[in-house]
Amino acid sequence: MKIHPTAVVDPDASLDSSVRVGPYTVIEKNVQIGPDTEIGSHSIISGPTSIGARNRIGSFASIGAPPQDIHYQDEPTRLEIGDDNWIREYTSLHRGSPGGSGVTRIGNHNLLMAYIHVAHDCWLGNHVIMVNNATLAGHVEVGDRVTLGGLVAVQQFTRIGEYSFIGAMSGLILDVPPYIIVAGIRNNLQIRGINRIGLKRAGFDSGTIKNLSKAFVIIFKTPELLLQEALEKALTEFPDCKAVARLVQFFKDSRRNVMRLSSDGE
């Protein structure tokens, strides 16, 4: 273990022997940090918080602070961070709230760039990229391999489906389906098409991407069909495509409205 002499580590914190802690960082009680994790200077880590292996946390980060919830009364809620995440400078990650799940979860292999905020009870999947100044309000769910552009703001209780790409400065107030590209300012958001580049990079075969593109036309660009009719038609047209089935199921599982706006082009 390599702890800078100016760092303050509570004796009740549990740090693996390979953890490195930078100057003037404070690690409070009820914090667990796994192997080969590096904490930059001037950061503060509060508990209860668990941090997995091989994470890199930049300078001036605030990890595990209490939720910004006026009903919070110091209940023992948690923040759980997985493995291999890169959490850059000035990021703030808050614990869960008693009125939610009680846990904020960050998965594995995520890149959270500078000035990111993840509020209480958010759940992030794996391989998520959040570009500078992206912000999640409470109870937001972000699927695997989602990219959130710079200055994106997401309203509470919103779900963002896996493999989607959200353009910079977008303001999200509705659920975003998986596999798609969304871009535009808050009052002029548009679904631009299937995230082909992201899907290719993630290893999706050309047949699946082609099926998703055709299902996209049925669901998002056929205004004469009611939503339920469009979803059923997509399932009928591509009965053996798991990705299309997942896209349809996302709509059915939504507890709020799902984006269904599209630009003319794809």
Q: What is the pLDDT of residues 103-129, one digit of tens each?
A: 999 999 999 999 999 999 999 999 999
Of 138, 143, 193, 198, which one is the catalytic site residue? 138
Three-state secondary-structure class, residue 229: helix
Of 69, 83, 121, 175, which one is the catalytic site residue? 121
Facing residues of 176 across strands?
A: 160
121 is catalytic: yes
Say whether pLDDT at 261 is over 70. Answer: no
138 is catalytic: yes
Residue 55, both tokens? 């994470």
Percentage, residues of the chain above pLDDT 70? 97
- Residue spans of the domains in the chain: they are 2-157, 198-253
List the alpha helices (DSSP H) in 110-241.
196-201, 206-220, 227-237
pLDDT of residue 1: 76
pLDDT of residue 264: 40
Three-state secondary-structure class, residue 111: strand
Classify 198-253 by CATH class.
mainly alpha
Of 117, 120, 127, 139, which one is the catalytic site residue? 120
Q: Write down the residue that tokens 């660009």 correspond to.
A: 221
Q: Please, what's the b/e burial string for 181-197 (b: 16 or more CB within 10 A of its CB; e: otherwise)? A: bbbbeeeebbbbbbbbe
16 is catalytic: no
Domain 2-157 coded CATH 2.160.10.10: yes
pLDDT of residue 39: 98
Residue 129, both tokens? 């990229």
Residue 68, both tokens? 């910004």
